[in-house]
Every structure is written in structure tokens, then in C-alpha cells.
Amino acid sequence: MRIAAFAVTLAVTLAAVLGLAALAVVAAPGSVRAQPLAVAEVGSFHVGGRAVSLTGLPTRDVVFTAGSAPIKVDPNGDFEVEQMYVQYVKLASPRARYPLLLWHGGGLTGVTWETKPDGQAGWQLYFLRAGHDVYVSDAVERGRASWARYPEITTSEPLFRTKKQAWEDFRIGPVGSYKLNPAERVALPGQLFPIEAFDQFFKQGVPRWATTDVAIQAAYNQLVQKVCPCVIVVHSQGGNFGFNAALTAPDKVKAVIAIEPSGAPKPEAAAGGRLKGVPHLVVWGDFVAQSALWQRFVPASQHYAAALRAEGGVADWWDLPKMGVAGNTHMLMMDKNSDQVAQMIQKWMGERGLMR
């Protein structure tokens, strides 16, 4: 009896330490989430950027509280700018061959991957449970990457997305359907974003700049040099950065999974078949055909994917509704069926030889 009990304890314990990840894909998400994850390390770092000194600018008198005496603000000094922020969770025994890098879209941060606005666990945890080391990052000028004084360092001013823009541009509701009062907002029929949590989602938003692409790409390229070989999952504005990161380091980037990329390199960039060994997957949700905005954005990645294939590479194109998966908005990692989409992506990675 005691020996049997010991054996069971040993088996359960070993499973907890070594075998957990193996269970993640076969078991239902609910049951998987109740099981502990064997984590080797959590931590973060900043990468990229440059030192900048401001000199000779006039000091200004600034009144910080109405009625109080002005305080001199001196904008001069030495700073670090254009770095990016990266946070990682490393597993004790990853089943994936390479770490998974999750890159967010415009006006957002790595929070995109960490949580869903209705409180469900994000894709970060999904892919950890599926056996990947996961790196979640904030690109230059947002979130924990920080931002620089403008117009002295960043040459333009920040842009703040409105709720109306997010509601309509992200294909949650049709153009003109946004209202301040949540009860009056009319969503697209069949859409799967958790609209009851739309204002909560909006708290994840951060200002963005229109003039920082070069700095953002430079930091991403440095990240790739630091932590790859890797697989990159990238969303929206990030699509272009992910495609370019692979073009810059085709030896380090083992796959690119672009979720609704808002742009892509010119097809000529694929010339010479240098990305032949780097499978690409492009994923699109629902209601794209009805959206003038997205009809403008889709062709770039379409032409780029075609060029990758013409050069002998793999560039899979998923139009989810055509695959029987309806209702996805632009924020498909937060939609009510988002774990189903994650599972499809996980399966693709397995088929592409990216799991051990």
C-alpha cells in the first residue's frame, strides 16, 4: 500500500514537473488551466535604443497646481530613448523548439496577449500551457518601453485613439454604430468580441506616434538578435515589423504568424527565396469584405504572401470564415472563440515542425 501510494505520488509529481506541457494540447482548456505550469524563470529586460542629450533649450516656468507658485522646468539633460521592453516566462521543459515572441499592434502594448477584457486568460498563458517559452513585449514609445520628449526627440506628437475608432476600425460594430452609452452601441451581427467589456478593453490603449517606425523596427531587430531563434506572432501594425524582422534575420526567425497585418513589405522583398525556410501564416477574421478600411489594408500582405510562395516558400493564408470559423473581429485574440483560433495556430506550428 505504502509503496503504491509512493509510486502514485512520484508519477503525479514527475508529471507536474516534467510532463505538464504534454497534456496541454490534448486536454480541454478548462481542465488544463487548473494544472500548474513548471516555470523556470520570469523576468524582463529593455533592448535597443540610444542615448540622447538635449542642450541649450530654455527653461520654462510651469504652474503645476492652480494657484501655486510656478516651478522652473529644465528640458535639458541626458536620456535613453527608443528602447523596447520585453518580458519573458521560461518553462522548465518547453515542448516548442523555439521561444514564441508575441508582438502587439498599434496603440496597444503586450497586454494584448496577457488578458482578455472579459477577464479570461490571454494567449500568453495559452501558449505557455502549449509548451512554449513566451516573450511578450512593448514596442518603442509605448507601455513599459517608455516614450521620449516631443517634438525635441520624437519629432511628431502622439495620437490618441478614440473609442469610436476602436469600435468601428476593429470591426466590432459597423461604421456609424459607436455611441458613448454602451447600451446604445450596435455590434455587427454574429461578431464575437466581448462587447460588455469594450470600455475595459479600451483601458489597454496607449498613445502612438506616426513617425517612429524606423526606431521600432530597429529595436525589434535587436530583440531578434538577442533571443532568437524564435517564432514571431504579430498583430496588426506589428505585421510589417514581423515580416521585416524575418527578412533581416531569416536564419533566426523560424516562422512568422501574422494576425490581421495592416501592412507588409513590397513583394520584391521576397526575391531570391531567402525566406524559403521560414514558413509564414497570415490569419484574417470576419467582416473584412464589408470594411472599406480593411479592404485597403489586406492587399499588401496578400501580394507579399503570394511572392513568398512564388519564391518557393510557405505562406499559408487563413480566411477564417471560409474555414468555418465565423465572427472574429480585428482583436481576435480577445474574441469569445479566441482559444479555438489559438488551438488552430498551435496545430499549424506542430505541422510546420516547430514543436519537439
Contact 125, 338 (CB under 8 A): no
CA distance linking residue 304 with residue 268, whole number of Å = 8
- 134 vs 257, beta carbon nearer its own copies: 134
CA distance linking residue 183 with residue 268, whole number of Å = 48
Stretch that binds its own copies, among 7-15, 225-233, 255-263, 335-343 (CB under 8 A): 7-15
Stretch that binds its own copies, among 22-30, 44-52, 299-307, 329-337 (CB under 8 A): 44-52
- Residues 313-342 contacting its own copies, CB under 8 A: none
The Cα-based distances of 155 to 10, 131, 161, 218 in angstroms read 61, 42, 19, 17
**Among 22, 57, 160, 251, contact with its own copies (rule: CB under 8 A):** 160
Stretch that binds its own copies, among 24-32, 146-154, 221-229, 248-256 (CB under 8 A): 146-154
Task: Name the nearest CA neighbour of 81 among 143, 137, 145.
Answer: 145
Shortest reach from residue 134's CB to its own copies, in Å = 9
- 78 vs 268, beta carbon nearer its own copies: 78
Instruction: Say which residue the cell 496597444 belongs to.
Output: 108
Size of the site for its own copies (CB under 8 A): 76
Q: Which cell numbers hold the place of 116?
A: 482578455
Binding mask 82-111 for its own copies (x = CB under 8 A): -x-x-x-x--x----------------xxx
- Residues 242-281 contacting its own copies, CB under 8 A: none
CA distance linking residue 189 with residue 168, whole number of Å = 14
Q: Does 119 bind its own copies (CB under 8 A)?
A: yes
CA distance linking residue 98 with residue 255, whole number of Å = 10
Q: Does 138 bind its own copies (CB under 8 A)?
A: yes
Spatial CB neighbours of 94, under 8 Å, sequence gap ≥ 6: 21, 131, 132, 133, 356
Q: Does 236 bind its own copies (CB under 8 A)?
A: no
Task: Name the nearest CA neighbour of 150 among 217, 79, 200.
Answer: 79
Shortest reach from residue 178's CB to its own copies, in Å = 8
Shortest reach from residue 3's CB to its own copies, in Å = 10
